[in-house]
Structure formats: structure tokens, C-alpha cells
């Protein structure tokens, strides 16, 4: 028995977000991921609004779902049209699912000025719509649109809307902060009074226009709401909806409530949460929010020296939960603000144990601070930090160096651009020349480097560049400004990153490339995985 019901509306309300567009396959894929997580209800869409949602309800029947029930969404019938002739209501019936979620107006302002009908006629729309769906064997959840604004405007009318829906057979009464403008104390008071008057199962559907959607949702649950609606990553119309990625850990890990239909023990149920969040971002081609609570890449990143030292001793000193509970990981960053503990942690990642007061730690910390004073940013470039540490330990960390490089960019008569890069590499006693072509000068130099190094070290060919970023450090000197290059590498199993700084973008790029390749070769020798 669940303590709180979760209804995920990513595929319906989330699809109304500006810039969001799900393909049909996206919707089916997300459905499967939500089912694997244990979400009890998935709102699949509004079939009368577009052909894609209509097709979704045909295709979703073929998915072998274990935990989730698919529900359909729509509105009350149109004014002046009987329920049996209303295309919206009939599309809900034709969706062939057990449960329908329909919304109706609970704010007298909308009744009079938007629908332009009497308050009594609005109550009739709600009652007859719910009754029609019930007659066709469907359960009905009623979304009271604009409930909180409506309650503040006319408590009596907002309550009469809920009573009408309940008397008509609605099994859930969801209070919607549709404008997203409520503050926590508003939600607390109104949910408390509404639940006292209505009883039954009250739900919450909060939008985020005042930045309160998650807080308002949790407050509603504390006040007795047993049904929660939200979306993955909080996507939704305008400023979005309550983010289930934040709501679920709050419910299960903080309040101790069961909210997921999963056979896994409670401590295992949320371990796929980070992966799910990033999966949805990726499907939508959206940039992940690194500061997103619980799942962001920086959600458990510690930079200050005092913080790092404390976390290494007692993790909960600066962490509100164990990041592994939601599938995330702790990051202890080395930067100008770091202390010796951060450097020691980097050594441990390499399988090396150092004394806190060792000369290598002192030199590494000083070098990091000096580099960051020059506008380097090392907190995300672990490979660069590791190379500095190993150098200060007296470990040879250079398999090869580039002693000469050049690149020539020409514009062809047909309008195309060709880039040709040349490098001379010294690896031990070997000196070799390499040439490569690319779509741009950095690509050409990388191609040249790979061509020559693959002859000396064949295993280097499987390394790929998965991220390449250039940042202008100080733009006051215009095109002569320093630039910082960040490169992330992968060999299929591990990832690592390097950074370099120069007034010349090509010099910064090739230095970061050389460091990245040297680092992987060094890791192969040490026989250590990076993560």
C-alpha cells in the first residue's frame, strides 16, 4: 500500500513546455523508464489535442509494463454540447484505459470571464462530464484548475466545485496551483482547510512560476495530500511543474513515505533517478542543470578546503543524503579554494597514499593555486590535476611531446574550407612527423597527432573526444584575449578531462590534447581505472 500516489505528467504537461517536443518513440521510451522506476500513474497525453497522443494510446498497449497504469487526460465537455457528442470526452473513452484525468474550472473568474457561463452552468459541465466517463466504466481523477486562486477569491465556490466532482464520482480531487503563484503558507492553509472540509483523497498539482512548486508539493503532502503530480526535471508550461526528481527523494528519504510501486527495498528504489533525469535531458537535447538538487553533476561537489576535509572525515557533515541513494556521486574538487584533503583524495583515486604534509601535496596545492590565479579552471579537469600531482611525486608522466606544430587553412574555389595540420612528435628516442586533415584547424591538428601516434602506440586509436569547449577568460583585449580550452576524453570505459590556457586557441587546444593522451597512456601503465 502506497502512502502517496505519484502521477507523472511529463508526457502531457511537460510536453507543453516551450522548446520541448517529444516524438512518439520518445514518449514510449520514457514510459518504460518511468515504469521501471515504479511510478504508479503515467499521464500519457491529451488524445483530442493532437494525432501523436492519439497514436500513443494505441501503441502503449504493446508495452509490457509492470508497475505503471497509463491514464488519459482531457477537459470537461464544451458548453452547449452534450457529453455523448463531445469529441474530447469520447476520445478519453476511446483511449481504452481505466482512468481519466479531467480538469475543470474552480475559479469563478474563469467561469465568468473565460468560459463566459454562469457558475451554476460550470458545475453542470463538471458533473455531467464525470458522470459520462463513469457510465463508460472509467475511474475519474478531477483536476480543479486554479483551485488556490479560486479559493482565495471565493472559498464557497471552490469548495462547491470539489463537492460537485466528488458527488459525480470523482475518486481523486487534485488541487492545482495553475498560475504557480502560491507561497508555502498559502498552500499549507488552503490544503489543511480543504482536506478538513472534504475528507477523501486530496491531490496537489503545482506549477513553478514563483519558484515554489517543489516546496508547495511537499507542504501539501505534509498537510495530508495523498496524490502528487509532477514532471521529470520539472519541465512544463512557462516556468515548469513540480520536479519529481526532487519530490521523490523528499518523500521517500526525508519523510519516510512510500511513493513508488517497486519490488526493490526502499534504499534501492531511487538509484536510477540520476540516470532517468539525464536520459530525459538527452532525449530533449536539453542541457543538464549541473546544480539540480539530488541529481546534478555538482549537487555533491565540494570545493572549499574546510568542506572537503570534513566530508572525508564524516560525509554527512556537508551532505544531506548519501549521493549513491539517488545514483549520483560525490566530487571533491581541487581548485584555488581547496586544501590538502582535496589533493589527498585525488591521490587516492590514483591508488596512491600520501601523507598530508608531504612535499608532493604542498607543491601540487601551490601549483594549482598559481594556475587558477592565471585564470585556469581545474575543478572539472581531474586529469590535469593528476598529471601535476604525479610530476610533483617524481613520476614520469610524459610519453610524448609535440616539439613542432603548424596548421594551414585554405578556402577552395568551390567555397569549401580545408584545414591541414602538421606535427612533429618526440616519444623517447623516436621523432616522427604526422599530417592530418580536418573540418577546422583544431580537428586537423588532432588528426595529425592521432596519425603519428597510432604508429607508435596503436591502442590510442580507441580514444574519442566527447566534449570540447572554449571559453574567453577576459574579453577586454578582444580577439587577443586569453582562451581556456576544456576537453573531455573517453576510451569506452573511462572518462577524463584536461584544460589549458593561452592567448592562442590552437596552442591551448594542442596542449590539452597532448595532456589527455599522455594521461591515458599513464593510466594504462598504472593499471588504474579513472572512476
Return d(Cα 196, Cα 190) in angstroms, integer: 10
* SS3 of the chain: helix, strand, coil, percent, to 5: 45, 20, 35
What backbone torsions phi and psi does residue 54 show, to the nearest 5 degrees? -60, -45
Residues β-bridged to residue 105 = 145
Decide: helix, strand or coil at residue 72.
strand
CA 428 and chain centroid, separation: 45
The set of cell numbers assigned to 42 is 503515467
Separation between Cα atoms, residue 159 and residue 162, nearest integer Å: 5
- In sequence order, what are the beta bridge partners of 484? 471, 501
- Give Cβ neighbours of residue 2 (< 8 Å, ≥ 6 apart): 40, 258, 259, 260, 261
Read off the C-alpha cell for 23.
Answer: 516524438
Neighbours of 363 (CB within 10 A): 16
How many other CB atoms are there within 10 angstroms of residue 400's CB atom? Answer: 21
∠ at Cα 97 (11, 136), nearest 5°? 135
Q: Element (H or E) spanning 5, and its range?
A: strand 5-8
**Strand, coil or helix: what is 362?**
helix
Reply yes or no on whether 307 is catalytic.
Answer: yes
Instruction: Count how many residues are written for the chain.
Output: 531
CA distances from 19 to 42, 55, 244, 260 (A): 22, 22, 20, 29
CA distance 530 to 491: 11
Q: Which of 5, 65, 14 is nearest to 41 (CA)?
A: 5
- Residue linked to cell 511513493: 259
Q: What is the DSSP string of 493-509?
A: S-EEEEEEEESSHHHHH
Helix (H, G, I), strand (E, B) or coil at 29: helix
The separation between CA 117 and the C-alpha centre of its own chain, rounded to angstroms, equals 42
CA angle 14, 16, 20 (to 5 degrees): 75
Helices and strands (H, E) in the chain, number of each type: 17, 16
To which H or E segment does residue 312 belong? helix 305-313
Cα distances (Å, whole numbers) of residue 120 to 116, 148, 198: 12, 20, 20
Of the candidates 205, 207, 227, 307, the residue annotated as catalytic is: 307
Would you please indicate which residues are annotated as catalytic (active-site) residues?
Answer: 307
Amino acid at each position: 500500500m502506497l502512502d502517496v500516489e505519484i502521477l507523472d505528467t511529463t508526457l502531457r504537461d511537460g510536453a507543453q513546455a516551450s522548446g520541448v517536443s517529444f516524438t512518439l518513440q520518445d514518449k514510449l521510451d520514457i514510459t518504460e523508464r518511468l515504469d521501471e522506476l515504479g511510478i504508479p500513474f503515467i499521464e500519457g497525453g491529451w488524445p483530442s489535442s493532437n494525432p501523436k497522443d492519439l497514436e500513443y494510446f494505441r501503441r502503449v498497449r504493446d508495452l509490457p509494463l509492470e508497475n505503471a497504469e497509463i491514464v488519459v487526460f482531457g477537459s470537461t465537455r464544451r458548453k452547449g454540447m452534450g457529453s455523448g457528442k463531445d469529441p474530447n470526452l469520447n476520445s478519453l473513452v476511446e483511449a481504452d484505459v481505466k482512468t481519466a484525468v479531467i480538469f475543470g474550472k474552480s475559479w469563478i473568474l474563469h467561469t465568468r470571464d473565460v468560459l463566459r457561463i454562469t457558475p451554476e452552468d460550470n458545475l453542470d459541465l463538471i458533473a455531467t462530464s464525470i458522470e459520462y466517463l463513469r457510465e463508460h466504466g472509467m475511474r475519474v481523477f478531477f483536476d480543479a484548475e486554479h483551485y488556490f486562486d479560486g479559493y482565495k477569491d471565493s472559498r464557497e465556490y471552490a469548495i462547491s466545485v470539489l463537492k460537485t466532482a466528488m458527488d459525480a464520482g470523482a475518486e481523486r480531487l487534485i488541487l492545482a496551483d495553475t498560475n504557480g503563484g502560491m507561497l508555502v503558507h498559502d498552500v499549507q492553509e488552503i490544503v489543511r482547510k480543504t482536506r478538513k472540509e472534504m475528507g477523501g483523497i486530496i491531490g496537489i498539482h503545482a506549477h513553478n512560476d514563483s519558484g515554489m512548486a517543489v516546496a508547495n508539493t511537499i507542504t501539501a503532502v505534509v498537510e495530508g495530500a495523498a496524490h502528487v503530480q509532477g514532471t521529470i526535471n520539472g519541465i512544463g508550461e512557462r516556468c515548469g511543474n513540480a520536479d519529481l526528481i526532487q519530490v521523490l527523494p523528499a518523500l521517500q528519504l526525508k519523510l519516510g513515505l512510500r511513493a513508488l510501486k517497486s519490488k526493490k527495498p526502499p534504499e534501492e528504489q531511487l538509484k536510477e533517478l540520476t540516470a532517468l533525469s539525464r536520459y530525459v535531458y538527452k532525449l530533449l537535447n536539453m542541457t543538464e542543470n549541473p546544480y539540480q538538487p539530488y541529481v546534478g553533476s555538482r549537487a555533491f561537489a565540494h570545493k572549499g578546503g574546510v568542506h572537503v576535509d570534513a566530508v572525508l572525515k564524516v560525509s554527512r557533515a556537508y551532505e544531506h543524503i548519501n549521493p549513491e541513494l539517488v545514483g549520483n556521486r560525490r566530487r571533491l574538487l581541487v581548485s584555488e579554494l581547496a586544501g590538502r584533503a582535496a589533493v589527498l583524495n585525488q591521490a587516492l583515486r590514483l591508488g596512491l597514499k600520501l601523507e598530508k604534509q608531504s612535499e608532493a601535496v604542498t607543491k601540487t596545492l601551490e601549483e594549482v593555486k598559481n594556475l587558477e590565479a592565471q585564470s585556469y579552471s581545474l575543478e572539472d579537469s581531474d586529469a590535469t590535476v593528476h598529471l601535476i600531482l604525479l610530476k610533483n611525486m617524481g613520476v614520469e608522466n610524459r610519453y610524448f611531446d609535440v616539439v613542432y606544430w603548424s596548421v594551414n587553412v585554405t578556402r577552395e574555389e568551390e567555397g569549401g574550407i580545408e584545414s591541414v595540420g602538421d606535427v612533429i612528435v618526440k616519444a623517447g628516442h623516436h621523432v616522427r612527423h604526422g599530417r592530418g586533415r580536418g573540418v577546422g584547424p583544431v580537428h586537423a591538428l588532432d588528426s595529425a597527432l592521432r596519425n603519428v601516434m597510432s604508429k607508435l602506440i596503436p591502442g590510442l586509436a580507441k580514444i574519442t573526444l566527447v566534449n570540447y569547449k572554449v571559453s574567453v577568460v577576459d574579453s577586454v583585449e578582444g580577439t587577443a584575449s586569453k582562451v581556456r580550452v576544456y576537453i573531455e576524453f573517453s576510451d569506452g570505459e573511462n572518462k577524463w578531462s584536461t584544460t589549458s590556457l593561452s592567448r592562442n586557441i590552437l596552442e591551448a587546444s594542442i596542449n590539452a590534447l597532448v595532456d589527455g593522451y599522455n594521461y591515458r597512456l599513464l593510466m594504462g601503465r598504472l593499471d588504474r581505472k579513472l572512476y
